[in-house]
Amino acid sequence: MRDNGKYTDTVFADKEFDKKFLYNGKDLGARCEGESTTFKVWSPLAESIKLRLYRDNDSEVCLESELRPEDKGVWKTVFPENLHGMYYDYLVRNGGVEMSTADPYAVGCGCNGSRSMVVDLRRTDPPGFESDAAPEMQAEQIIYELHIKDFSYDLRSGVPEEYRGKYKAFTVGRTNGEFPTCMEYLKELGVTHVHLLPFFDYGSVDEAGDGGQFNWGYDPLNFNVPEGSYATDTRDGMVRIRECKEMIQAFHDNGIRVVMDVVYNHTYRKDSWFQRMVPGYYYRHKEDGSLSNGSACGNDIAAGRAMVDNFIADSVMYWAKEYHLDGFRFDLMGLLTVELMNRIRRELDAEFGEGEKLMYGEPWGADNSPMETGVRAALKENVRYLDEGVGIFCDDTRDLIKGHVFYEEEPGIVNGGSGLEEQLLHAVTGWCDGETYFSPKSCAQIINYVSAHDNFTLWDKLVMSMHGEADFAKRYEDVLAANKLAAFTYFTCQGKLFLQAGEEFGRTKSGEGNSYCSSPEINMLRWDRTVEYGELVDYYKGLIRLRKKMPGLCDKSPLAVKRITERQVLGEGVVSFQVDNRSESGDGDWEELFIIYNAASGNCDVELPAGRWEILADGRETDCRRAVAETEKRICVDAHSGMMLGRCRCVRQGEPG
């Protein structure tokens, strides 16, 4: 623990240490149990641990108590009273050095998270939360990525000033403005899940500061506590918990499930509560002893070590149980392990039912990271080892459609790219046709998207790639057409669907490609654009309604790929394919789909397969039904647009024609 008298890391990387000190109890942290409170921490090489209690977030120590060592590196003390509402931290002595630390397992904390809080969680439940339940899982999941502050910061959101940028904004059902905003708008849009950027306690915003601060939140400080800057009172640790639950309850009441964006691959700083409790154990190091930095955030959590994996799995389960969350998106999942992700999938399924909670993540890291022996990184090339219920963001589809995510001038199929037709025909199967370097078990593992919080918005990417340095607020008709075609394309690929909030009304960040700490004004949703680009909003609404009606596109089974037939390249920028759209019940309106993408600069006449067809979507309208005359043998698809046609069910004998 000391090197020339200086405090250093102790790095535990061997299996013997894990075996000796593995603790599988689910009771670490501070727990109120009737008239007593128990404090337990895991710190196997500590020489002593002292608990310090405070009456509030700012007062001096009012009581101290020594913890007693138990088996497996656990330390414990019990108070014969319920200490709900008290704040606490620890003094931990390792290698002769004493350091103060908050509790890594805390479920409550004070302002800015440096003091933990004892919480009787039932006292934080809003009225009716005990009976709160997720809306019924729909046949198709359409995920809408949203940042809590972005949602309501705009004055035109209509949300009361004291709720803007807060959890409470989601509890405002109707804003009574000139046009629908916030929750009312989300209900009308038709998405099934809202994916919220990280809202566990993060360190990059001063919770005592002003409301003009902004961060995406990928800077975890207290993993099991909601972020305080979104609460109406940052000083009282119970308010953030109650208001976070109110937000989730409001989503459920409005028929929308909630996915939590979780960041278990690194901590805000290396000098974390983990590091102070068990120096070196929770982080990966290179052979020379320096910190690994596969996260590009200064450190990597050592997933693959027993107590690290226990913490992550238990934390996910805690959020699912206590906050009634419906899914989890894992940031930089490639720094975690296949074994851990599959374990979390199994535990969620066992507790809530198979597939009831969504799980997906980024199948990459920012850089290489040394893994423990005997594990696989949860990278895209290892998707075949992941449980079928663990999804991955498909950057192949994203870049194919709109162009390289990091190079604004590089186009995809919808904005001038060439030679991409064959790849596009692989993408429509969710990359399950055996023609790619990675091998998903089914399209259930593929998250199709063209924009997310990272990098340029879709609108900005299209403007820059099609017009260079340009006015992002200007209405470009060619960009609007490309946006529609991009949406039409990924909405007609097999797999799960994901879109960034505001993509459907041309969201712009004025060309800012990394707005993680830009101003709220750059990041916020500008609700008046839902009117200015109302036709684009209607186009997305129609795609969402239409997608839900299409068993051939909604099928997530390993056999779904067989529904895609007659894939053809019809010319430069033009492809077509057919989809077996029959359902098990046989009650759908269309037994076959014929889908054409025309990214070319001219209209294209396409030969129709035999049958009686209806146009269900084109470049102007979605979720429509326009009959094609039976005498028509060809159909014209406008330039820079797509078309979906449905072949009507065969008329059985005795049925009216």
The full DSSP string for 164-193 is TTSGGGGG-----SSS--HHHHHHHHT-SE
* First-to-last C-alpha distance (Å) of the chain: 84
φ, ψ (nearest 5 deg) of residue 459: -60, -45
Q: Rounded CA gap, 242 and 259, in Å? A: 18
Which one from 89, 309, 326, 331 is the annotated catalytic residue?
331
Q: CA separation (Å) from 12 to 266, 302, 602, 641?
A: 17, 10, 63, 57
Q: Are 123 and 151 in contact (CB under 8 A)?
A: no
Q: E strand or H helix at 561, and its extent?
A: none
Three-state secondary structure readout of 291-305: ECCCCCCCCCECECE
Alpha-helical regions (H) of 164-288: 182-189, 237-253, 273-277
Active site residue 362: yes
Sign for the pseudo-dihedral over CA of 3, 5, 8, 13:
positive
Q: Are 346 and 339 in contact (CB under 8 A)?
A: no
How is the chain split among helix, strand and coil, in percent rounded to 5?
30, 25, 45
Strand partners, 7: 2
Strand partners, 53: 63, 88
Which one from 103, 201, 362, 399 is the annotated catalytic residue?
362
Integer-rounded Cα Rg, in Å, for the chain is: 26
Q: Are 555 and 583 in contact (CB under 8 A)?
A: no
Hunting for tokens 């001096």 — which residue is that? 60
Active site residue 331: yes
What residue type is 430 in one-letter code?
Answer: G
Sign for the pseudo-dihedral over CA of 168, 169, 170, 175:
positive
Q: Are 223 and 288 in contact (CB under 8 A)?
A: no
Q: Are 109 and 119 in contact (CB under 8 A)?
A: no
Hunting for tokens 């609404």 — which residue is that? 541
The full DSSP string for 63-83 is EEEEPEE-GGGEEEEEESS--
Burial of 114 from C-beta contacts in 10 A (0-12 / 13-18 / 19+): middle
Catalytic residues, by residue number, are 331, 362
